[in-house]
Amino acid sequence: MEFNTRFFQEFADACSKQDGPQLARTLSPDIPTEELREICNSQNAHDIKRVLKRGLQGSAALVGGLGQQEVQGWVEIYTTYWNAARTILVARESSDDRRQSSQSDLVWTKVYAAWTELLNVLLRGYQNNGIEAWTLPCMYVVCKHLRLFAMEADEERNNSSSVDESAAPSLQDDFNPETNKRQKLEDCARVLSRVFTACQSDRAPLEESRKWGSYYLANLLLKTYFKLNSTSLSKNIMNSLFAGGKDMPDLSAFPKSQQVTFKYHQGVLAFLEENYVAAEQHLTDAWNNCHKDAVRNKERILTYLIPCRLIKDHMLPTEKLLAQYPRLQKLFLPICRCIKRGELHNFDLALQEGEDELVKRRIYLTLERGRDLALRNLLRKVFIARGFEEAKEGEKPARRSRVPVTEFAAAISLGSQERIDNDEVECLLANMIYKNHMKGYISRQHGIVVLSKSGAFPGTGV
């Protein structure tokens, strides 16, 4: 916002109402270019501090309760914001006419640097100038854009032909060309983690503590770590959040949006560690609290919740549920159908078909284990197709429970039309028994499988 009377009024207004989001809007870079230009042109580097100081002191006088230190903090913050705004303006203008000037400098790198400076000044404002915690949304907006600028800067650098040789010379024998690609985002993760710590370690009374910023920053950090493929770092955040004990307000006291995002991340982390019980719980929490219109978010949650349920409870999503999310439908429906129908070979094909996408989302390995269910359903069909023993008088007819291994073998090779060695079939059957998908035993001597008379396939009604 242009630094004029209106701005100073707005500032005073937000302060008197302690309206964080309103105040945060004055620090947002996400405004039309025209407005940005006005901000930049409204002042010059020489005068800006003086103007801001006078103006903000005026605002402070209006509100009352705003200390000299605090005002000084805000003067610094808005000065740095103005500097950053100028770099953003340059960046936006140069992106517009990039085609003409092939040799553009790394403008977004400059934006990132300027914006990091803003975050630092802001952080100092909190730590040294006693800026109060109700203004945390300002921190949010600055952190959020820091991450976006970092990604912008990385992309720009990777696209530019000039090779960045600025990497510090090291005597160690470690290097990784990949890290250079994500240089700024990694730096961003470090900066954010510092801000996170600054929130976490605030010992002010809970009502006015920066601890309330913890989950917003945790979420932002987790998001960054996921992007950087370094989920292992997430553990530090989790530990730090849960180590707080009583000092830390319960998650349920935080805004719902933050709860949902956090639960989602927590769930995915558990999922990646194959802790499906915890994963299901967290993801279900996220699902239940998710805003009904946040389709994209619900889709994200389901991406992991569905495989979780499949492995843990042998539950498949209904076609009705999948129909609401075309992307998920494409991903899961073919596989789920094959499992349901016990089409082993088609299951393999469907999995292969979706492999790239599934692997990318880290759900391939989990879904692959759905093959056991497809196999179970196939074997169950064999069992049912064999029908009943001749019923003795007065008794309910029992199913024929002695099945030759060759019959199962025939069923398994039916789909692929490839002969499969009996020993391998036995191996698969032994696995079914071991995993409790099937009750009974193999008699190698006779080449038959003796299935339990009561519930040969637990949980399937047979």
Residues near another protein (CB under 8 A) are: 116, 120, 123-124, 127-128, 169, 171-178, 191, 194, 197-198, 201, 229, 231-232, 272-274, 359-360, 362, 364-365, 368-369, 371-372, 421, 423-424, 426-431, 433-435, 441-445, 450
Q: Report, in Å, the least distance between residue 434 CB and another protein.
A: 4
Minimum CB distance to another protein smaller for 143 or for 272: 272
Q: Are the CB atoms for 114 and 188 separated by under 8 Å?
A: no
Render 156-219 in DSSP notation, one character per residue.
HHHHSSS----SPP-SSS---HHHHHTHHHHHHHHHHHHHHHHHHT--S-GGG-GGGGHHHHHH
Considering the complex, state which of residue 254 and residue 364 has its C-beta at the smaller distance from another protein: 364
User: How many alpha carbons lie under 13 Å from residue 354 in its C-beta half-sphere?
Assistant: 23
CA angle 227, 134, 30 (to 5 degrees): 50
Q: Which two tokens stand for residue 125?
A: 């404002």
Nearest-angstrom CA–CA distance, 244 and 249: 9
Shortest CB 430 distance to another protein, Å? 3
From CA 237, how far away is CA 219, in angstroms rounded? 10
Cβ neighbours, 10 Å, residue 293: 8
Least distance in angstroms from the C-beta of 272 to another protein: 5
> Can you tell me the distance from the alpha carbon of 412 to that of 375, in angstroms, rounded to the nearest whole number?
8
Q: Could you say which DSSP state residue 418 is in?
A: -
Q: Considering the complex, what minimum distance in angstroms separates the CB of residue 35 from another protein? A: 29
| Token reading at 405 | 């291994």
Tell me the one-letter amino acid at 323.
Answer: A
| Complex with another protein: residue 177 or 461, whichever CB lies closer | 177
Q: Which is nearer to another protein, 96 or 421 (CB)?
A: 421
Q: How far is CA 45 from the centre of its chain?
A: 41
C-beta closer to another protein: residue 3 or 81: 81
Q: How far, CA to CA in Å, does 430 sit from each of 168, 383, 453?
A: 57, 16, 18
Minimum CB distance to another protein smaller for 200 or for 261: 200
- The least distance separating another protein from the CB of residue 411, rounded to whole angstroms, comes to 17
Token representation of residue 26: 């004055």
Smallest distance, Å, CB 232 to another protein? 8
Nearer to another protein, 160 or 231 (CB): 231
Query: Cβ of residue 363: shortest distance to another protein, in angstroms?
Result: 9
Residue among 238, 220, 224, 308 nearest 271 (CA) = 308
Residues whose CB is less than 8 angstroms from the CB of residue 173 and which lie 6 or more positions away in sequence, other chains included: none
Give min distance, CB of 229 to another protein, in A: 6
At closest approach, how far in Å is the CB of 439 from another protein? Answer: 11
CA distances (Å), origin 123, targets 24, 73, 208, 240, 310: 14, 10, 16, 20, 45
> Which residue, 14 or 279, has its beta carbon nearer to another protein?
279
- Compute the distance between CA of residue 100 and CA of residue 241 in angstroms, rounded to an integer: 49
Amino acid identity of residue 29, one-letter, is P
Provide the minimum distance between the beta carbon of 170 and another protein in the complex, in angstroms, as a whole number: 9
Task: Extract the tokens encoding 233.
Answer: 């770092």
Closer to another protein by Cβ: residue 93 or 407: 407
Nearer to another protein (CB atom), residue 315 or residue 365: 365
Question: In whole angstroms, what is the distance from residue 157 CA to residue 106 CA?
Answer: 7
